[in-house]
Chains A and B, each alone.
Chain A
Amino acid sequence: MKFDKEQLQMVLALFVVAVIAATLLGLTDIFTRGPIAAAEKEALHSALAQVLPAHANDAQADMFVIGREKQALSIYPGKDKAGRLNGFAWEVTAPDGYAGSIRILVGLYPDGKIHAIRVTGHKETPGLGDGIVNNAGWLAAFAGQELDSRNWKVKKDGGDFDQFTGATITPRAVVKAVKGALAFFASKRELMLAAVAEEKEQP
Chain B
Amino acid sequence: MTKSEVFFDGFWHNNAIFAQLLGMCPLLGVTTSAGNGFWMGAATVLVLLGSNLVVSLVRGVIPKNVRIPAYITIIAAFVTIVGMAMNAWMHEMYLVLGLFIPLIVVNCAILGRAEAFASKNSISDSLVDALAVGSGFTFALVLLGGVRELFGQGAIFGITVFGDSYPDMLMFILPPGAFIALGFILAGVNLINRKLKARAQQQAQMVQMQTVQTEAVEAHS
- Chain A positions within 8 Å of B, measured between CB atoms, are 6, 9-10, 13-14, 17-18, 20-21, 24-25, 28-29, 31-32, 34-36, 39-40, 42-43, 121, 123, 125-128, 165-166
Contact = CB atoms under 8 A, between A and B. Distances in A.
Contacts of B70: 13-14, 17
Secondary structure of the B side of the interface? Answer: helix
Nearest to B36: A126
Nearest to A165: B170
Given A10-B66, A13-B66, A28 B73 contact: no
Contact of A6 (B62, B63, B92, B168): B63
B80 A28 contact: yes
24 contacts: A6-B63, A10-B65, A14-B73, A17-B70, A17-B73, A17-B74, A18-B73, A25-B77, A25-B81, A28-B80, A28-B81, A28-B85, A32-B84, A32-B87, A32-B88, A35-B89, A36-B87, A39-B87, A39-B89, A127-B152, A127-B168, A127-B173, A128-B170, A128-B173
B91 A43 contact: yes
Interface in B78-107: 80-81, 84-85, 87-89, 91-92, 95, 99
Contacts of B216: none
State which size class the interface on B falls in.
20 to 34
Contacts of A29: 84
B22 interface: no
What 3 A-B pairs come out closest when comparing CB atoms?
Answer: A127-B173, A35-B88, A39-B91
Contacts of B152: 127
Contact of A127 (B58, B77, B81, B174): B174
Interface of B: 32, 58, 61-63, 65-66, 69-70, 73-74, 76-77, 80-81, 84-85, 87-89, 91-92, 95, 99, 152-153, 168, 170, 173-174
A34 B169 CA distance: 42
Contacts of B89: 35, 39
Nearest to A122: B95
A125 B85 CA distance: 26
The interface centre, meaning the residue of B85, B88, B92, B168 with most chain A CB atoms within 10 A of its CB, is B88
A166 B99 CA distance: 23
Contacts of B76: 21
B73 A126 contact: no
Given A6-B63, A17-B73, A127-B170, A28 B84 contact: yes
B62 A128 contact: no
Nearest to A39: B91
Nearest to A14: B66
Contacts of A32: 84-85, 87-88
